[in-house]
């Protein structure tokens, strides 16, 4: 506890903790729907698109956030459109756009500014990169995401599991898909400041997969995912501070540990159930 209090005595660490908690919460809640829709790798693809956009912004001298958010949102809608209408499968489309955007960003960086501190922080993340404005944006984003899941829970549930059924019952599935895409895009752009393009997608995937090992209901998974994401982020930040390891990597390792623990619990419960069934048959 004393270590945590020591951490929050530093303004830059307090900003990193606050912003990271908000971003982790957003990524975890959105990640449940994305994972269940088999669209979890959109986070990885959009993070590479964001890196390409940020590289251009840094090279030209524009505001990174103001330029990258519209670009990443447009890429998210493009991926949705490809999934709905094109013959290319969604995972292949994500791979094509992801690799192309990353290659474009690296090329622009090498031809202009080179691997500066700004570009390096967007690639690998930096807890020093979170500004007061970033924290405010992350807080507003988390409020919007929470309102979406609280006020429109049943519609999000329907769109997540069966879009055809949702449309048949009068739900505008396209609208909610678009909202999920936009919120995911903004979450990724803000999260890259701290986690980096290489690791931001883990905030979307790990909490959802971990919660699914224990909980079976959608509400249970969503709730547990948000709680798990915040706890793992705080643990990762403490590890990063104590052992001087990169913040993004420490958070991912904390998420991985939680996933392995929950998977072990699930396996143990499964074996116990199997044992009981055998005993009942005998």
Residues 64-103: pLDDT tens digits? 888 888 999 999 888 877 776 656 677 777 888 888 888 8
Q: What is the pLDDT of residues 103-124, one digit of tens each?
A: 888 888 888 766 665 667 777 7
Rounded Cα distance between 82 and 93, Å, is: 7
| Token digits of residue 245 | 């390891």
Q: Check: CB of residue 188 under 8 Å from CB of residue 72.
A: yes
CA-based nearest residue to 16, from 249, 159, 193:
193
**Comparing 146 with 86, which gets the higher pLDDT?**
146
Buried b (16+ CB within 10 A) or exposed e, 75-98: bbeebbebbeeeeeebeebbeebb
Instruction: Give whole-number Cα distances, 184 to 28, 44, 144, 264, in Å.
Output: 10, 11, 12, 30
Q: Give dist(CA 73, CA 256) in Å, integer.
A: 28
CA-based max dimension of the chain: 74
- pTM for the full model? 0.89
Q: Which of 76, 78, 77, 52 is closest to 64 using CA atoms?
A: 52
* Burial of 31 from C-beta contacts in 10 A (0-12 / 13-18 / 19+): buried
Q: How far is CA 192 from CA 19, 114, 172, in A?
A: 11, 19, 31
pLDDT for res 115: 62
d(CA 228, CA 126): 22
User: Comparing 153 with 91, which gets the higher pLDDT?
Assistant: 153
Contact 218, 233 (CB under 8 A): no
Look-up of token digits 């660490």? 13
The tokens describing 94, both together, are: 């994500």
- φ, ψ (nearest 5 deg) of residue 186: -65, -40
Assign a CATH topology to domain 2-281: ABC transporter involved in vitamin B12 uptake, BtuC (1.10.3470)
CA distance 24 to 225: 10
Q: What is the pLDDT at residue 63?
A: 82
**Which two three-digit tokens encode residue 98?**
């992801």
Q: What is the pLDDT of residues 194-240, one digit of tens each?
A: 788 778 889 999 999 999 998 989 999 999 999 999 999 999 999 98
Domain ranges of the chain: 2-281
């Amino acid at each position: 506890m004393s270590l945590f209090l020591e951490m929050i005595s530093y303004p830059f660490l307090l900003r990193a903790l606050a912003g990271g908690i908000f971003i982790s919460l957003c990524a975890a809640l959105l990640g449940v729907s994305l994972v269940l829709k088999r669209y979890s790798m959109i986070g990885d693809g959009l993070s590479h698109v964001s890196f390409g956009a940020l590289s251009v912004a840094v090279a030209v001298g524009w505001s990174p956030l103001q330029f990258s958010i519209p670009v990443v949102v447009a890429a998210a809608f493009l991926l949705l459109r490809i999934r709905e209408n094109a013959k290319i499968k969604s995972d292949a489309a994500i791979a094509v756009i992801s690799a192309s955007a990353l290659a474009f960003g690296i090329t622009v960086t090498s031809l202009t500014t080179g691997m500066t501190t700004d570009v390096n922080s967007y690639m690998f993340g930096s807890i020093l990169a979170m500004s007061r404005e970033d924290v405010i944006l992350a807080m507003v984003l988390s409020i919007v995401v929470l309102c979406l899941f609280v006020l429109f829970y049943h519609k999000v549930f329907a769109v997540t599991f069966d879009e055809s059924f949702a449309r048949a019952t009068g739900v505008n599935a396209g609208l909610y898909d678009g909202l999920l895409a936009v919120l995911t895009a903004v979450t990724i752009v803000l999260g890259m400041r701290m986690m980096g393009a290489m690791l931001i997608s883990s905030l979307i995937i790990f909490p959802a997969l971990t919660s699914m090992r224990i909980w079976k209901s959608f509400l249970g998974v969503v709730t547990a995912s948000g709680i798990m994401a915040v706890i793992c982020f705080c643990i990762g930040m403490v590890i990063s501070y104590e052992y001087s390891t990169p913040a993004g990597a420490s958070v991912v390792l904390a998420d991985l540990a939680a996933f392995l623990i929950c998977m072990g619990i699930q396996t143990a419960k499964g074996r116990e159930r199997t044992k009981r069934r055998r005993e009942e048959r005998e």
